[in-house]
Homo-oligomer: A and B are copies of this chain.
């Protein structure tokens, strides 16, 4: 019998991308798709591969007969319901932060550590944070060949990393400042937003995002670090199996709707040239190399959004650091950074 796939959080921002991915997948091995959401969204109709499905309310029984349950919901919902799905016999593939650092839960990027899906004592597999994921296919491929020892990363993170509320806020802010030619005097952006009925208190971001960048993502952790920056460090170590990997990350939100970019400074145990790195990227099916600066070709978020691969460019050998490459990576944070990676894990589980 063909396996049953559940999607928990079907009506959210990532849920919508997940349905888009399912609709466009060349092969579809699932016998049944079950859309699950909160009571508020239950009863909603959504179309998956030409079939109109009715969203059902989350309950223990909703997981009966499910082989794989994908969770795209906030941490606390996953923390409560993923173990229940597992008890009912499903493998839970969770895109929240609830289980990522749990020693009994594998944290999986199929291109890097698909073998880890087999060890899942809790019946749960975690999907990495979108910022980590946006670079992992590229960095993981280099690591396999040259053995990664250090990562210094600065992010250019999209508004949609903060969910539908982040997308809506950025669009509203852009509309409020457009044509006003503000931005050359302190406070002008904030004033334009207030005047447009967009008070700072209503924003998911701690500062205006239109015509601005905001060096903050997540919540405050020890010693001034933002949770997103520690996730990049801890998840990169776990995914690649390098417990002593040296990592410094600075996470910055930029006024881009979708696609996270990262400036990566990566040091390896072994010597590596630009030509060798190009070879590695060319050989990795999920990576697209766009690296021709003589013709002004490099990845930008606008070129990447809506696509599945990780785009890499600006590959340079560091001039002063041995065995080190500098490069720029762009990945759609809603696709490979969230829905796609989760779906790839789900497919691998039954393949």
A175-201 interface bits toward B, Cβ cutoff 8 Å, 1 = contact, 0 = none: 101110101111111100000000000
Residues of A269-291 at the interface with B, using a CB-CB cut-off of 8 Å, are 274, 291
Interface size range of chain A in the complex: 35 or more
A150→B324 CA distance, assembly (Å): 13
Q: Counting CB contacts under 8 A, is A294 at the interface?
A: yes
Enumerate chain B residues within 8 angstroms of A245, measured Cβ to Cβ. Answer: 320
List 10 A-B pairs, minimum CB-CB distance, nearest first.
A178-B178, A154-B154, A246-B320, A183-B257, A154-B263, A206-B296, A250-B263, A215-B328, A212-B302, A224-B316
Residue of B nearest to A233 (CB): B319
A302 B224 Cβ-Cβ under 8 A: no
Known: A258-B183, A265-B152, A314-B250. A302 touches B220 (CB 8 A): no
A301 close to B178 (CB less than 8 A): no
Contact A300 B246 (CB under 8 A): no
**26 A–B pairs (Cβ distance < 8 Å), ordered by A:** A150-B320, A154-B154, A154-B250, A156-B213, A174-B177, A183-B256, A183-B302, A184-B258, A185-B306, A211-B256, A211-B301, A212-B301, A213-B254, A215-B298, A215-B328, A220-B294, A223-B316, A224-B274, A224-B315, A233-B319, A246-B321, A248-B321, A248-B326, A250-B328, A252-B328, A263-B263
- Name the residue on B nearest A262 (C-beta): B154
Say whether A317 faces chain B, with CB atoms less than 8 Å apart.
Answer: yes
Verify if A313 is at the interface (C-beta below 8 Å from B). yes
Which residues in B have their C-beta under 8 angstroms from that of A307? 186
Taken residue by residue from 15 to 55, chain A's Cβ proximity to chain B (1 for < 8 Å, 0 otherwise) reads as 00000000000000000000000000000000000000000
Q: Pick the contact of A211 from B302, B315, B318, B326 — CB < 8 Å?
A: B302
